[in-house]
Structure 1
Amino acid sequence: MMELYNKHPKYFVAVDCVILGYNEGELCLLLYPRGFEPSKGVWSLMGGFVQDEESSDDAAKRVLKQTTGLEDIFMKQVSAFAEPNRDSEARVISIAYYALVRMDEHDRACVRESGAHWWALSELPEMVFDHNKMVDKALVKLQQEAGYRLIGSELLADKFTLLQLRRLYEAIFQREFDPGNFRKKILSLEVLERLNEKDASESKKGAFYYRCKKEVPVKGLDRIVKV
């Protein structure tokens, strides 16, 4: 049996993590300057090689923990990237993941240690290899996820206003939503709990804070962004 396996080429397998955060109306991406050749010094996604006895999911979780200091981060597999010449040094097949991080919770010391920096998606620098394609595909995956499930607790503070939630969705989908329709649709999903507390900065009357319910009903989770 091993003779059959030995007839085939062997490749490196890596993971690359599209780490996304949200700050002041902008989706942000965590990048670091690559510390080795090829393309040393060029901005790169956080990643690494899959180790022995480690699944690709485990490798991605390891990279996320080393980078942000956080565990139990929301992450989803995006796609495999396997163009033969994507890395000039060797044949490397990379499995990309996107992860959502609360920017007020991550370990800034871990980020500084790696030389990483948060970039607004609207101002991304040039990246190594095919990392720009990974980011583009990750954003599509995030939009699909946010279209069928409320994305709030992963990127916003524990309590937020509907305006803050709408602005998050506008950043994710890169377009504006009608305020009235968005409010009506979101509240109809019955996934939010209104708090007896207001944010006085949004209007004279103030805007009620909401938080995500711990137990979410199945009904209504059809298509959030059809507003």
Structure 2
Amino acid sequence: MPYDPSAFPAFAVTVDLVVLTVRRDAFCALVVRRGEEPFRGWWALPGGFVRKDEDLVTAAARELAEETGLHAQDPGSPPAGAHLEQLATYGDPGRDPRMRVVSVAHLVLAPDLPAPTAGGDAGGARWMPVDQLLGASGAGAPSERLAFDHNRILGDGVERARSKLEYSSLAAAFCPPQFTVGELRRVYEAVWGVSLDPRNFHRKVTGTPGFLVPAGGTTTRQGGRPAQLFRAGEATLLNPPMLRPEV
């Protein structure tokens, strides 16, 4: 039987980006103001349609650069120092009013990134606290409703990040190349939304094999006494894990 393209409905693939960072001790997500319909004027996650000649990672990096001005050093890569992974696929038939659209969401975790610059079809771009978008700890009513199903996608990305901090060394992705234990603790506190005991935290992270490696220097950038600098070790999984306190 010959192939008949008209027998198939309109269908498209997009990428959506959950870009998370810690800014001024707040856990923040990158959002853009939509400049076109549908949902014109709404805040949304950066993203867009995948082109015919692109793989998914290349499309994700391009959309990030076009809509926010955050560029990668190499095409098809996240910004320098960032962690990129595929998050999930979303294919509810009614998620986009234009046509049947399946989105492959990606999670990007990075140290404090510069202020984004809107471009392409975005009417604005900014970092916004996760609690403002999802409600406190993801449980309350959000004060900002995102376009499409982006509140759901963002919530999944935030929970992925919070969970990965328990059993992986991913917290270092939110830190500069050399950091103090205090700076690392504030990452955990911002992402988890809790306060941690400094002494217990110091003992746990410095006692976990392969997590931290002394960088051979100190810093006073936090004020007070000089603090020892560390860098991320080779361990990717933490044993024992850093369990989230119950809140």
Which bracket does the TM-score occupy, shorter chain normalised?
A: 0.7 to 0.9
Query: Given the alignment of the two structures, is residue 199 of structure 1 paired with residue 205 of structure 2, yes or no?
Result: no
Q: 2:158 aligned to 110, 131, 139, which one?
A: 139
**1:24 Cα deviation from its structure 2 partner:** 1.6
Q: Provide the residue aligned with 1:181 in structure 2.
A: 200
**1:6 and 1:146, CA in 2 relative to 1: closer, same or farther beyond 3 A?**
farther
**1:136 Cα deviation from its structure 2 partner:** 0.5
**1:186 and 1:8, CA in 2 relative to 1: closer, same or farther beyond 3 A?**
same
**1:170 Cα deviation from its structure 2 partner:** 1.6
**1:201 and 1:39, CA in 2 relative to 1: closer, same or farther beyond 3 A?**
closer
Structure 1 segment 78-117 matched on structure 2, within 5 A: 78-104=87-113, 106=114, 108=115, 111-113=117-119, 114=122, 115-117=124-126
**1:112 and 1:78, CA in 2 relative to 1: closer, same or farther beyond 3 A?**
same
**1:200 and 1:17, CA in 2 relative to 1: closer, same or farther beyond 3 A?**
closer
Q: Provide the residue aligned with 1:50 in structure 2.
A: 50
Output the TM-score relative to the length of structure 2. 0.78
1:24-66 Cα deviation digits (max 9, x unpaired): 2111111111011111010011001111132222211222343
Asked whether the 8 Å contact 1:26–1:120 carries over to 2, the reply is yes
Letter of the structure 2 residue corresponding to residue 198 of structure 1: T
Mapped to 1, the partners of 2:221 and 2:189 lie a distance apart of 22
Structure 1 segment 1-227 matched on structure 2, within 5 A: 3=3, 7-66=7-66, 67=68, 68-71=70-73, 72-73=77-78, 74-104=83-113, 106=114, 108=115, 111-113=117-119, 114=122, 115-124=124-133, 125-189=144-208, 190-194=210-214, 195-199=216-220, 201-203=222-224, 205-213=225-233, 216-217=234-235, 220-225=238-243
**1:5 and 1:141, CA in 2 relative to 1: closer, same or farther beyond 3 A?**
farther
Mapped to 2, the partners of 1:185 and 1:4 lie a distance apart of 62
Letter of the structure 2 residue corresponding to residue 178 of structure 1: D
Mapped to 1, the partners of 2:213 and 2:169 lie a distance apart of 13
Mapped to 2, the partners of 1:122 and 1:178 lie a distance apart of 22
Secondary structure of 1:102's aligned partner: coil
Q: Which runs of no fewer than 5 residues in structure 2 stay unpaired?
A: 134-143
Q: Which runs of no fewer than 5 residues in structure 1 stay unpaired?
A: none
Secondary structure of 2:117's aligned partner: helix
**1:97 and 1:200, CA in 2 relative to 1: closer, same or farther beyond 3 A?**
closer
Mapped to 1, the partners of 2:188 and 2:45 lie a distance apart of 23
Runs of 4+ in 1 over 3 A off after TM superposition: 1-10, 200-203, 217-222
**1:133 Cα deviation from its structure 2 partner:** 0.4
**1:8 Cα deviation from its structure 2 partner:** 4.4
Secondary structure of 2:169's aligned partner: coil
Identity score, percent: 27
Output the TM-score relative to the length of structure 1. 0.84
Letter of the structure 1 residue corresponding to residue 63 of structure 2: V
How many residue pairs end up in the alignment?
221
TM-align CA RMSD: 2.5
Mapped to 2, the partners of 1:4 and 1:121 lie a distance apart of 46
